Each structure stands twice: as structure tokens, then as C-alpha cells.
Structure 1
Amino acid sequence: MPTETEIVTRLRAAGCVFAEDEATLLLEAAEGGELEALIERRVAGEPLEQVLGWAEFAGLRIRVLPGVFVPRRRTEFLAAEAAGFARRAGREHPPVVVDLCCGAGAIGAAIADAAGPLQLVAADLDPVAVQAARSNLDPIGALVFEGDLYDALPGELRGRVDVLAVNAPYVPSEAIAMMPPEARDHEARLALDGGGDGLDVHRRVAASAHSWLAPGGALLIETSERQAAVAVAFFEAGGLDARILHDDEAEATVVVGVRGPDRA
């Protein structure tokens, strides 16, 4: 079995910036004689989280599978803001929270951890992501569905959703080739590719959100700072009161759209 020093040397040669930390995690994750296989996967460029089988997110250990989008630390900002909306809604009733384009379910898990008890529903188009999300969310009583955006959700949720948290793909198609190989080569294209300007899925989400949100309910979508103003425009076109939130430290941008109260 290779020593930790030997593992660090191999990881450094492969371009791993945090080779020492990664070597420690690989040694901890290895069972029996599988250490060499784990090292080879990491040296070949597979994301560390997929090699380990988990990613840290908002203080939680989120299970990920090969090919599944790895939750980014910047998305903790979206989860925290969504949890705040859930807590406010929960003053009167257990809030209904939907994690749409859920990937491994990290956002939903973080919201539930920070703002529970709540009714949590998650959905994704990628069957492997749905499998990972169920392993993370089934233990906390959430329901996870496979399907295309709102088509995956139970109809009984229409008009009842207090928080709709969405980390949809927002990388422009032509920019995929410039992404780090870890993402480009090892995560599902549908979790990365947002179309021509990166906002194709965001438009679809915003166009129908009003009918799914409860009065006063909020849609939160992660995007880039450059794209945010465009997103605000189609949030407003969908009947939502929109604003931009930004966290400089996390380099995270979230657009929030709130459904106004029903008028008598």
C-alpha cells in the first residue's frame, strides 16, 4: 500500500492543489485494497467528491455518485437565503419547500437542516441525480421525483409552495469547453449547459413559478452577477417582485422573486 507521502507526490503531479488534504481523505475512504483504485480515479481527473462518494455542503455530508453534479460551496448562500424564507413562512404553518433541479439534493437537505420541520419535495431530470438525492433526502422524509421541472411535481403543490429553490444550469453552451475538466468531463452536461446565454432553464422556471408559489412565496435561483439583471427582467415578466442578492465573500449571486398577496 502506498504511503501518504507517495500519494501526495502522485496527486501533486496530477495538478491537485490540496494534495495533502486529499491524500488524508483518500486514506480514510479506502476499504480493503481499494486505495489504489481511488488514487487512480483522482489522478485521472475525476472530482474528489465523486471519488470519495460525498461532498461537504453547509456542514452536511452529501452523498454524490459518479457523473452527478457536485454541489458548490458558493451555493450555500442560496440555501441559507432559502432557509430564511422557509423559517418566516413556518411561523404560521410547516412550510412547503421545493428543491428543483436538485442534483444530489444538497440545497434541500441544507434548508431542512436549518429551517425544519417542513414539507420538502425535490426533483431532477437526471435519473442518477435522483438516485443520489433519494439517498440524501429519504431519511429526512422528503419526496424526490424524476422529471422535467414542474412536470415532475405533484399537482397538489400548485399554489402552495412557500420556497422554490433552484440551482439550474447557467453556463452558456459555448463556455462549457472552457470549464475545468473535473466538471466538463465528469458531470452530466444537462447539469451545466444553460443554452445560448446560460439562462434557458431559468426562463422556463420563472415563467411558471407564479402558479406554483403560495401568496408571499419566493423563488430563488443562483446565477452569475453578469446574468442577474437579465434574470430579474423575466422574473418580473412572470409576475414576481424580483431583486438581486450577492455575497462578495462566496462570490455568489441569487435572484429572488416573490409572489405578491392575492387581491380580493
Structure 2
Amino acid sequence: MSDRLVARLRAVGCVFAEAEAAEIRRVLGHDDDATDAVVAARAAGTPLEQALGVARFAGVEVEVGDGVFVPRLRAEPLVDDAVAAAPDARVVVDLGCGSGAIAAALHRRLPQARVHAVDIDPVALRFAARNGRRHGFEAHLGDWWQALPRTLRGRVDLAVAYLPHVPTARLSGIAGDYRAHEPDRAVAGGADGLDPLRAVVAGMDDWMSPDGLLVTFVADEQHIAARTVAGARRVLFVLG
């Protein structure tokens, strides 16, 4: 038997139409009007997660919307590696949190920790604050470490960050759906893609506890340069 929703999604250019249809039904059930709106949004190029208003990431579901970075599946190993490397962390920070997906997953996996999330984008922060109320973390608006309460200075045991890391010259290569619906600063990393890492590393000495660990993502070809940026500081790089 043919699946009309799958056929409609294929007709508007969705490559993974079966998976998208399953996710639409999971979220919307049999709400035909809402489904029609999502299909129309996909036809206009809106990412599925933004069209639905939710994204699944590392075992949690978070709210997202237009103009907010959609959590990437390739960032999920950050959560696994962070929890494995710092299972007893008490103060945990998601730097550049977007919707707060990483913070939500970390709170679920490290229930003993107090989890904070920071982002400079007020649109993202509105979603992070809502997700924080649902998932049990605190969201703060501001520039990297400076957004955190001063009482956390020198006390952060674990910082996790899916940092913007795309070199400026490669921004045009980002898939069109995301390019049009996410802010550039959520992905743009400067000439070599490592400017956000430099900013974060610069604050580690002031904000991390003596044994504190930063876990972050870089592309394979950035690893050597990123290690130079980190120097002797405790940084675990997840490569992709």
C-alpha cells in the first residue's frame, strides 16, 4: 500500500521521506492540518526539526524553532565521551548551547550535577530557557564564560561545547535548508574555523576547576591546529 505522506514529502524534495514521515506522525499523530503545515514548511526549505518544533538528541527531546541551531547527530558523541571522562562532575556547562540539547542530555546522564547552558543569541536563549525548565538546567544569555554566574568562577568541572567550527570560506557549502534558517554565528568559526575555540580556551584558566575538562568537536583536519590552541589545558577533542 502506498503511503501518501511519504509520497508528498518525496514530491517536495525530501531525500529521507520515510524517516521524516515517521517523525511527523510521532510528533503530530493524525493531525492533518498540522501535517499539511509541516509539509508546506519542508517544501519551503525549513529543516524538519524546526517545522515540527522539536528535535531528538542523545535520548532527549527539545524544543527548536526557526532561527535556532538544529542539534546535529554527530554531536551526540560529545555527551557520551564527556560522561565517560567526567562521571563525577558537579558543575557542568554547555557553552554555545543553542536550544540546550547538550545541556538537557548531560542533565539526564549526570543527575548529580548542576548544569548550566550559555548562548549569546537571544532567540536561542528563549528556547534554551524553556528546555531548561523542562529538563532541569539553567540557561544564561551572554558571551561564552562571561554569561555564567560569578560564583562559578574556578568551579566548572566539565564544559561541553559543539562550537561553531566551519571556516568562513566553506560556509556556502552548508546544506541550503540549514544555511537559510540558522544564524551564521551558530556555525561560522572564522578563517580556520577555530576562533570560537580560541575564545573558550582563553577563559578556561579562570573558570575551570583544577581538574576541569573541556570536551569539544573539531573536524579531522582541524585536530592538529586545535591541539596547538589548547596547549597544556585539559581538552578532549571529538573528531568528525
**What RMSD over aligned residues (CA atoms) do the two structures have, in Å?**
1.9
Query: Amino acid of the residue matched to residue 21 of structure 1?
Result: A
Residue aligning to 2:66? 66
Q: Is the 8 A contact 2:67 2:182 kept in 1?
A: yes
| TM superposition shift of 1:117 | 1.6
Say if 1:241 and 1:145 are closer, same or farther in 2 by CA, change over 3 A.
closer
CA deviation vs aligned residue, 1:162-211 (integer Å, no higher than 9, x gap): 00111110001121111111211111111011111111111111111121
Residue aligning to 1:14? 12
| TM superposition shift of 1:108 | 1.1
CA distance in 2: counterparts of 1:243 and 1:198, whole angstroms: 17
Q: Is the 8 A contact 1:86 1:97 kept in 2?
A: no
Residue aligning to 1:256? none
CA distance in 2: counterparts of 1:85 and 1:5, whole angstroms: 45
CA distance in 2: counterparts of 1:148 and 1:244, whole angstroms: 22
| TM superposition shift of 1:160 | 0.2
CA distance in 1: counterparts of 2:79 and 2:51, whole angstroms: 24
CA distance in 2: counterparts of 1:227 and 1:44, whole angstroms: 34
Residue aligning to 1:38? 38
Say if 1:41 and 1:140 are closer, same or farther in 2 by CA, change over 3 A.
closer
Secondary structure of 1:226's aligned partner: helix
Q: Is the 8 A contact 2:216 2:235 kept in 1?
A: no
CA deviation vs aligned residue, 1:53-79 (integer Å, no higher than 9, x gap): 111111111211111111111111011
Find runs of 4+ consecutive structure 1 residues off by over 6 angstroms.
Answer: none
1:158-177 alignment runs, 5 A limit: 158-177=153-172
Percent identity reads: 40
CA distance in 2: counterparts of 1:107 and 1:221, whole angstroms: 11
For structure 1, list consecutive stretches of 5 or more residues without a partner in the other structure.
90-94, 247-251, 253-264
| TM superposition shift of 1:121 | 0.8
Work out the number of aligned pairs and report it.
238
Residue aligning to 1:84? 84
Which of 98, 102, 112 matches 1:103?
98
CA distance in 2: counterparts of 1:244 and 1:163, whole angstroms: 13
Say if 1:129 and 1:234 are closer, same or farther in 2 by CA, change over 3 A.
same
Query: Amino acid of the residue matched to residue 240 of structure 1?
Result: R
